[in-house]
Structure 1
Amino acid sequence: MEDAKDEEEKNEDDVTFESLGLVEELCSACKRMGYKAPTSIQRETIPLALTGKDIIGLAQTGSGKTAAFALPVLNDLITTKPTPKGTFAVVIAPTRELVFQIHEQFAALGSEIGLRSVAIAGGIDMVSQAVALAKRPHVIVASPGRLVDHLEHTKGFSLRSARYLILDEADRLLNMDFEKEINKVISVLPRDRRSYLFSATMTSKVRKLQRASLADPAKVEVSDKYSTVDTLVQNYIFLPAKHKDCYLAFLLNEFAGNSTIVFCDTQNECQRLALVLRKLGFEAICIHGGMTQPKRLGALHKFKAKERNILIATDVAARGLDIPSVDLVVNYDIPMHGKDYVHRVGRTARAGRAGRAISLVSQYDVELYQKVEQLIGKKLDEYKAESSIVLMLQERISEAQRLAAFEMREFTSSKRGKRMSSMEGEANNADHHRGSKPKPKRRRR
C-alpha cells in the first residue's frame, strides 16, 4: 500500500506545466510567477480543458483554481489562428476584490502575448469602464451586477464573440442571490461556448446552475469535504467576552512582526478594532464592504506590500484573495457558518507554507465553535495564555477603547451632518427650480 502511495507521489512530482500540454509562452509565464509545479486541481483540470470539455471544479480554498481555468483559456487564445478579436472569455466572481485579483493573474500570465484584460466591478466609474470595454479586451473579469449594468446601458457592448464563460466561487455567487444576474449573462452568450464552473461545494443551487450553463461537463474534485491544510496550526483561546480586546492585543504582541489578518463579523466592529489597535501603537488597517472601492483596494495593497502588517477584515476578505505572506489568522468573532471558518483560515498556510490560526472563543461562542470542530473533523489545541499576564494590558485597552469610541461618534456625526446638508441643498435647489423662495429659518429662542 505504501509503495503504491510513494509511486503516486513520484508520478505527481514528475508532472510539469509542459507535460500538461501548455504552450511554451505560458510555461515560461508560470516560471516567472514562481509556480514550481502544477497543483492538484491544475493537474486534473488543465488536460481535460485542453480537449475542449466543460469543467466542474470542486476544490478547497488556496488550491490554485484561478490558474486552473486561466491557463487553458490563454492556451486556446494563443493557438487559435487567426487570433480572435473581441471578447474571448468572461469570468464572473462574487466580490470586487476577487474580480481585481483574477484580472491581475490573467494580466500577469498573458503579459508575454499582449493579452488585454479588464476588471469590471461596482464602486468604479461606469464611464471609464465603458471606455475600457470599447477597446474590446480579450478577457472580462466582472462582478455579476455591474456586468449586467453594462449589458443593459453601455451602447455597443455585447458578449456575442465570447467563447468561454467561467463562474468562480459559484456557491458564494448563488448564496449572495446573483442567480438572476447570472441567468441574464448566460442568455446573451453564444450557445457553442465552453463553460467552467468552480465551487467549494456542490450545493443544490450549483447543480441547478450547472444544468443551465454546462454541456456534458467533466467533474474534477480534489477535496470531497471542507478541510484545512496540514501545514496550518490551529488553536483556540477560551476567554470572557468583556476581555476580548485585551486578548487580541496580547496575541498581536506575542506575534509582533508577523503578517496578521483579524476577522470579525460586522463593519462597525471592524472599524472600531482598527481604531483601538492604532491607539495601542499597532500598524492596523481595515477592509469591509462599507468602504469605497478605492479605499478597499488601497488597504489591500498596503497589506500586500507589507506597509501595514495587521489587516482587520469582515468576510469580504475571507474567500479567494491570494495574499501569500499571511503568517497568522485570528478569528475575533467565530463565524455563524463553519465553512466560513475554513475560508478565513485558508488565507494563511497557502501553497505549502506554514501558518497559524487562533480563534477567540467567549462564553457566547461555544456552540458555534463546536460546529467548526465538527465540520473540519478535528479537535483544536488550546493556545496557552496566562490570564494574569493578559489582563495587565487592561488599563491601556480601556483608554484605547474610550478614544476609539469617541472617534467613531465623531465620524458618525460628521457623516450624518454631510448627509443632512446634502438633503437641504437638494431641497433648496428643487425650490429654486420651481420658482419658489426658500422658507426663512426660525430664530432659535
Structure 2
Amino acid sequence: MPAPEEASTSKSPDADVPTTFASLGLIEPLLSALEKMKYTEPTDIQSEALPHALQGRDIIGVASTGSGKTAAFALPILQKLWEEPKGLFTCVLAPTRELAYQISQQFDALGSAMGVRTVVIVGGMNAVEQSVALAKRPHIVVATPGRLIWHLENTKGFSLRTIKFLVLDEADRLLDMDFGPDIDKLLKIIPKERTTYLFSATMTDKVEKLQRASLSNPIRVQVSSKYQTVSTLLQFYLFVPLKEKDVHLIYLANSLAQNSMMIFTRTVTEADRLSIMLRSLGFPAIPLHGKLSQSQRLGALAKFKGGGRNVLVATDIASRGLDIPSVDIVINFDIPTHSKDYIHRVGRTARAGRAGKSVTLVTQYDVELIQRIEKVIGKKMELWPTDKQEVALLRERSDEAARLAIQELKEQNAKGGRKRRRGDGEEQSGGDNRDRDDDQVEAGMPTSGNKKKRR
C-alpha cells in the first residue's frame, strides 16, 4: 500500500490573508454554530484538515489534545450529513467514556442548527436505555469499542451497515488500551465504501498498522511532530523528601487557593486519600478516577467545570482528551513514569493561548524521571519558591488530616466489602466489563488483551 500523501504546508501568494471558516467552504448552518460557540478562526489542525476532508479524502491527523481536532473531523461530517441526511451516518470510537461524552457535546453544539441526533454508547451506563436510544435512529454514534461490540451482538435491529464515516479518535490510546481486537471486529462488519478519519497524538507502529488496514489513499495532516509543551506554560518543580509530600501539597493548595487546580496522582487510592485530606482542611476538592461510577465521573467534571469545586484530584484518566477551559495550575503530586504522560497532564492548563503553571513534586526517588522529562520538553524547570516557616506551621494540621483520610478510607472499604457480600453492589449492565479497560489499565488490573476476566 502506498504511503499516505502528506498535506502541503507551502504558503500561497495569499498566505498573509487570514484563514476563516467561511473561506474553507463551510455551509451557513455550521458557520452560525461556530459563531455562537465563539470559534473565531480555525486552529492549525482545522486549517490543514478541513479542505481535504471537505473533498472527501480519508484523513490521518497527527495532533495533540487541545488542538481543536474534534471540530476538524466533526465539521466535514456534519456538512456531508446536511447534504445527505440519511439514518445512522457516523460512528466515532473513543478510548474513554469522558472523551466520548465530550465528542458528542461538540457534535450537538456544531450541529445545533441542523437537528443532528447523537447517542453515546459507553460502559457504566444502562444498556437497555442505550438500546432504546439506538432504536430512535441517531445520526451519530460516539462509543467506546467494548460496549459498541456488545450492542452489535445483542441489540436487535442495530447495525453499522449504513454508516458513511468512521472516526478513530486518540488512536494511539485506543491501541495502548488493548482495544485492537474490538476494532478489528468492527472493521470486518462496517461498509468498505466509507470515509475514515484517524486522529492520534503519535504515529506508533500499532497506529501505522491500523492506518494501513482501515484507510484508503489517505492524506496525512500533521501539526506537531513531537511531544512538546506550549510556550505560555510556566513549569516548576519542588524538591521534597518523600515523607513531606503531603504537607508541601497543602502548602501549595493554601498559597494557590484562589486558582482552579488539577492535582494528578498515580493511583486511585491516592486520589481518594488526597481529596478527603484536602476537604478536611477546607479546600473544595473532588476526585476523578476510573473506580467511580459513570454518573459520579460526569458529576465531578461538571462541578469542576462549573466552578462548584476548584480542586480536581485525578488519575491519568483525566490527562488526555478532556477540554476543561479554565485550569490555572496543574500539580503533579506523583511524577508520571512516562514523559508523554507529563506533557498530557500539564496540557490541561495553558490552553488556547492562555497562560498556566505546573508544579511537580520531586522526591529523592524521582530525580532520574524529572531529568528525563526535562530532556524531552527541551527545557529546565524552575524551582518553586517556598516559605519553610509556613510549611512548618502547616505540618501538624497536615499530619492530622492525613490520619483522618486514611481512617475514612478504611471505613469506606469496610462498607464496600459488606455491600458486596450482601450482593447489593451496583448493578452492571451488559458489556461493562469490556468497556472498563480504560479503568483497568489505570489501576494496573488485567485487561481484555491479557485474556483474563473480571468477576
Which residue number in structure 1 is paired with residue 68 of structure 2? 64
For residues 387-406 of structure 1, the aligned pairs below 5 Å read 387-406=388-407
Shift of 1:293: 0.5
In 2, Cα distance between equivalents of 1:17 and 1:237: 44
For residues 173-188 of structure 1, the aligned pairs below 5 Å read 173-188=174-189
Is the aligned partner of 1:52 residue 2:56? Answer: yes
Which residue number in structure 2 is paired with residue 428 of structure 1? none
Which residue number in structure 1 is paired with residue 6 of structure 2? none
Which one-letter code corresponds to 1:236 in the other structure?
A: Y
Which one-letter code corresponds to 2:137 in the other structure?
A: R
Which residue number in structure 1 is paired with residue 45 of structure 2? 41
In 1, Cα distance between equivalents of 2:285 and 2:92: 32
Q: Which has the higher helix share?
A: 1
Is the aligned partner of 1:14 residue 2:14? Answer: no
Shift of 1:139: 0.4
Shift of 1:367: 1.2
In 1, Cα distance between equivalents of 2:241 and 2:19: 51
Which residue number in structure 2 is paired with residue 353 of structure 1? 354
In 2, Cα distance between equivalents of 1:419 and 1:320: 33
The partner residue of 1:29 within 28, 33, 42 is 33
Which residue number in structure 1 is paired with residue 434 of structure 2? none
CA deviations 1:369-389 (Å, max 9, x no partner) are: 111111111111111113332
For residues 21-420 of structure 1, the aligned pairs below 5 Å read 21-80=25-84, 83-84=85-86, 86-420=87-421
In 1, Cα distance between equivalents of 2:42 and 2:106: 15
Which one-letter code corresponds to 1:288 in the other structure?
A: H
Aligned partners of 1:232 and 1:349 also within 8 Å? yes
In 2, Cα distance between equivalents of 1:292 and 1:187: 32
CA deviations 1:248-288 (Å, max 9, x no partner) are: 11111111121111000100000000000001100000010
In 1, Cα distance between equivalents of 2:225 and 2:389: 43
CA deviations 1:345-375 (Å, max 9, x no partner) are: 1111111111111111111111111111111
CA deviations 1:385-419 (Å, max 9, x no partner) are: 13332222000001111111111111111111122
Give 3-state SS (helix, strand or coil) of 2:423's partner.
Answer: helix
* Inter-CA distance 258–56: structure 2 relative to 1 (3 Å threshold): same
Shift of 1:11: 3.5
* Inter-CA distance 316–10: structure 2 relative to 1 (3 Å threshold): farther
Aligned partners of 1:60 and 1:227 also within 8 Å? no
In 2, Cα distance between equivalents of 1:380 and 1:11: 36
Between stretches 200-209 and 254-263, larger displacement belongs to 254-263
Give 3-state SS (helix, strand or coil) of 1:111's partner.
Answer: coil
Which one-letter code corresponds to 2:267 in the other structure?
A: T
* Inter-CA distance 200–191: structure 2 relative to 1 (3 Å threshold): same
In 2, Cα distance between equivalents of 1:78 and 1:333: 47
Of structures 1 and 2, the one scoring higher in RCO (CA 8 A, sep 6+) is 2
Which one-letter code corresponds to 1:198 in the other structure?
A: F
Which residue number in structure 1 is paired with residue 431 of structure 2? none
Between stretches 247-256 and 300-309, larger displacement belongs to 247-256
* Inter-CA distance 186–8: structure 2 relative to 1 (3 Å threshold): same
Choose 1 or 2 for highest CA Rg.
1
In 2, Cα distance between equivalents of 1:8 and 1:341: 37
Q: Which runs of 5+ in 1 are unaligned?
A: 1-6, 424-445
In 2, Cα distance between equivalents of 1:391 and 1:184: 58
RMSD, aligned CA: 1.5
Between stretches 355-364 and 413-422, larger displacement belongs to 413-422
In 1, Cα distance between equivalents of 2:229 and 2:236: 13
Shift of 1:422: 2.4
Shift of 1:202: 0.3
Q: Which runs of 5+ in 2 are unaligned?
A: 1-10, 425-455
In 2, Cα distance between equivalents of 1:113 and 1:307: 32
Which residue number in structure 2 is paired with residue 3 of structure 1? none
Regions of 4+ moved over 3 Å: 7-13
Shift of 1:336: 1.0
In 1, Cα distance between equivalents of 2:366 and 2:305: 31
Between stretches 367-376 and 200-209, larger displacement belongs to 367-376
Give 3-state SS (helix, strand or coil) of 1:357's partner.
Answer: strand
Which residue number in structure 2 is paired with residue 422 of structure 1? 423
Total equivalences in the alignment: 415
Aligned partners of 1:117 and 1:139 also within 8 Å? yes
Shift of 1:188: 1.2
**TM-score, normalisation: structure 2:** 0.89
**TM-score, normalisation: structure 1:** 0.91
